[in-house]
Chains A and B, each alone.
Chain A
């Protein structure tokens, strides 16, 4: 077990555990990992029993086994994930594209951060689009732009009086960008100084069309809901995107901060802009959709060193709407991706289709375990709910080990609660897929 201890210190020492003495530190980390693997052990035990009784219900047993293999394999793959080193000989020119609507609180900071990046100034271009804001967004943009210009950097502000939508804004940016790489940053996201360096380094490989940055939650300490999302973001990037990234098939380079090769974008921008699904124009899930267009031909990877921070919904109502929007775009884009993912690396393809199976089965399994079975047998669905919780606890332990003791347990508890509460969102998203009313924020 020595290796576990060895590979841990760097990050944690630099963050929260500086003051701890050596031995106590080792015990503490060793203990956390022990708990992590102990949870896996318990999960495996439960699954072994499931396999033994697989005849009782083959579909539900299969679901249970596949989801376990899927989740554990994510952790395993992410452990093998490796980033490439930064090469100062390769420094392509970049264009930041920021579409914004009613973001007076954040837009200034977002743009200001572009001026502070560790990258040659002459290779940076900024395009900010004010998409029909009704507040002071434009004014804030201009204030930030003046600051940028004072640093001899190029910034262009496009002002639309009437709102056209985020996708149009991004497309406008693609069309106007002069540089090799476009970095999309949401108007409520803030990048770190080294973010650009670590994003562009992957483009030295011509197969790579898109790179996702690592995004943490900016307003993490606002309340339990944002703490929960912080844990969720961290795991989604560090584990799930890292696992996908091994094969260069990251299925979503999120809008908060992702880089694309301009040349490849130009080829697809018109198709993307006029994308229709079931006859309805697509107005949300722009990031997942754009990634889909790229990974059809090229690779999309994840750069854990490229760091950004984003503001997440801090009320349940906003969170709920965001989740519903994401679910819808997930259904649509997954449907599209299914048509070509099989051509990718077999392991990546297997992972993808397994996940599709799991996502679509989850609500059926949930219905049976939590509603139907308890109704028929008059028994509480303790096995299912504790199994689900155990899985999330595993994620929580990972989060705690990597990030430190925060409100990780409460975050996981609330994640568990929200998973159960919002499980019906996916089937609902399928049913209402053509309805785009929730398309705008």
Chain B
């Protein structure tokens, strides 16, 4: 060896190499931040720094978070007090970007962190898309307090701020990406292929499909009005007509298929689910009433499980074999308390159930107005409505029960107690009015009067104890614990569903009741 390998020469060379590589890394970091690529500095330094910070926060560490964080990586400080019980219902949370500065649409990082920490401390655990699929489709058991965490659009700001939190909490998440953007040209907004691969490698992220082309608005009539890709027939300007049903079907089928194929090929993963852009699977269609049916028919063979944002429905999902999975879209103005209220409200309520109405236990308003004040639940119609409907979240699994409510009637013609509530189109009810007491059954929006008894049963300015009993498929109505009417057993299928109230008056803004207490007790057959 004709070489001078003195210490000083080696140190010189090493320091130069360090200097050069540091320069390169820092420059690339800048450049990649600029054109929006994987952020090397971020993934090497920032991510781990934040992870330690969160880890330390979780274990109650103060300013010396680097040390407490490091220490806590070796032991699990948080009591995993998840109960051995199995979950009756499973919530799916939806976020988009997680931001540092408010934009009125996305959740702030501080709030997101608080929300995740609150869930962790309350013993919640995340599940994978596969676990959710097995739960929904095959009814496989999940531990109580299981939830699926999802992010839509495949934005960079869904990944970078969130990942250290997931790592610290040992959580995982699903991100629904727009294949056209994430597999296409690099941008500084959407995650690119390399980033997605990195995410998959971490084991904390699952990638699923959000669409290929369907995240934009498209022209759907001659005037240029814009509609949704999957729910409206598009305007073919060169042919000067709307597309046919067949063209619509071909178009959406191709997009469903291509998005799945492209992602599977590029990332070597299985795509089993799809999140509808705008949460619209056809139900919001403007010009095509058959959209929902066609969408659900075409998507089923491609994606066994699909997601939408539910408003005015039970917030949790039950094991129902349904292809449509509901998600709770976390609003930017929810603080940690509001978030916990929403999460708790959706949980399965046990029978017997008493609501003293000190606080809102998850009454969901479909229309009209409601408030919880002075230990009363107040329901009103509004200036635009002749009626109001609310139901109680977390009751969708109930069956065979007696539902009693002490109701003070301020005004209005009909007070309705609802049982077996699945949605506004499917429920049973006892209607108490000035003219009759009636039992009605709504199936897919078709109203059927089962039995009716004439006579005034409503007492303006007075408080009455109204009751409805559902047992097997039989409904009966009570006033002050006296049986008024009773239906004959109808179906062989056992009814189930939650409780609710409806009020009605022929005049707008002329219904109001104040509910003082609610009792629901099980009926054993």
Contacts and interface: CB of A to CB of B under 8 A. Distances in A.
Interface of A: 3, 37, 40-41, 44-45, 48-49, 52, 76-77, 79-84, 245-248, 301
Contacts of B1: 246-248
Contact of B27 (A3, A45, A83): A45
Given A52-B194, A81-B2, A3 B12 contact: yes
Given A52-B194, A79-B13, A41 B20 contact: yes
Interface of B: 1-5, 8-9, 12-13, 16, 20-21, 23-24, 27-28, 37-38, 194
Contacts of B23: 41
A14 B21 CA distance: 35
Nearest to A7: B12
B20 A44 contact: yes
Nearest to B11: A3
Contacts of B8: 3
A44 B5 contact: no
Given A41-B24, A49-B28, 10 more contacts: A3-B12, A37-B20, A41-B23, A44-B24, A45-B27, A48-B28, A80-B5, A81-B4, A82-B4, A301-B2
Nearest to A83: B2
Residue from B13, B20, B27, B194 having most chain A Cβ neighbours under 10 A: B20
Residue from B2, B5, B13, B23 having most chain A Cβ neighbours under 10 A: B2
Contacts, number: 45
Chain A contact residues, majority secondary structure: helix
B4 A45 contact: no
Contacts of B37: 52
Contacts of B28: 45, 48-49
A37 B16 contact: yes
A81 B3 contact: yes
Given A41-B24, A301-B2, A76 B13 contact: yes
A247 B21 CA distance: 27
Contacts of A49: 28
Nearest to B193: A55
B13 A48 contact: no
18 contacts: A37-B20, A40-B20, A41-B23, A41-B24, A44-B20, A44-B21, A49-B28, A80-B3, A80-B5, A80-B9, A81-B2, A82-B2, A83-B2, A84-B2, A245-B2, A246-B1, A248-B2, A301-B2
A45 B24 contact: yes
Contacts of A3: 8, 12
Contacts of A246: 1-3
A170 to B, nearest CB: 26
A120 to B, nearest CB: 26
Contacts of B38: 52
A37 B5 CA distance: 21
A49 B2 CA distance: 36
Contacts of B27: 45
B24 A80 contact: no
Contacts of B13: 76, 79-80
Contacts of A84: 2
Given A3-B8, A37-B16, A52-B37, A82 B3 contact: yes
A351 to B, nearest CB: 14
A44 B16 CA distance: 13
A44 B18 CA distance: 13
Contact of A48 (B9, B24, B194): B24
A243 B523 CA distance: 92
Chain A to chain B: the 5 pairs with minimum beta-carbon distance, closest first: A82-B4, A80-B3, A246-B3, A44-B24, A3-B12
Residue from A76, A82, A301 having most chain B Cβ neighbours under 10 A: A82
Residue from B23, B24, B194 having most chain A Cβ neighbours under 10 A: B24
Contacts of A79: 9, 13
Nearest to A4: B12
A82 B16 CA distance: 20
Nearest to A80: B3
A343 to B, nearest CB: 17
A47 B8 CA distance: 29
Contacts of A82: 2-4
Contacts of A37: 16, 20
A246 B72 CA distance: 50
A82 B6 CA distance: 11
Nearest to B38: A52
Contacts of B194: 52
Contacts of A247: 1
A73 to B, nearest CB: 11
Nearest to A2: B12
A404 B220 CA distance: 73
A83 B1 CA distance: 10
A250 to B, nearest CB: 10
Nearest to B9: A80
A246 B3 CA distance: 6
Nearest to A245: B2
A52 B23 CA distance: 17
A86 to B, nearest CB: 14
Nearest to B16: A37
Contacts of A77: 3
Nearest to B23: A41
B20 A80 contact: no
Contacts of B5: 80
A84 to B, nearest CB: 7
A394 to B, nearest CB: 13
A216 B260 CA distance: 65
Contacts of A81: 2-4
B183 to A, nearest CB: 13
Contacts of A83: 2
B354 to A, nearest CB: 62
A397 B133 CA distance: 64
Contacts of A80: 3-5, 9, 13
Contacts of B16: 37
A40 B27 CA distance: 14
A207 to B, nearest CB: 11
Nearest to B8: A3
A356 to B, nearest CB: 23
A405 to B, nearest CB: 24
Contacts of B24: 41, 44-45, 48
A39 B134 CA distance: 57
A389 B140 CA distance: 64
A343 B15 CA distance: 33
A44 B24 CA distance: 7
B3 to A, nearest CB: 5
Nearest to B5: A80
A390 to B, nearest CB: 15
A181 B16 CA distance: 41
A80 B27 CA distance: 29
A49 B12 CA distance: 26
Residue from A48, A81, A83 having most chain B Cβ neighbours under 10 A: A48
Contacts of A44: 20-21, 24
A116 to B, nearest CB: 28
B52 to A, nearest CB: 27
A126 to B, nearest CB: 29
A247 B3 CA distance: 8
B18 to A, nearest CB: 12
Contacts of B4: 80-82
A56 to B, nearest CB: 12
B411 to A, nearest CB: 70
A40 B16 CA distance: 11
Contacts of B12: 3
A84 B16 CA distance: 26
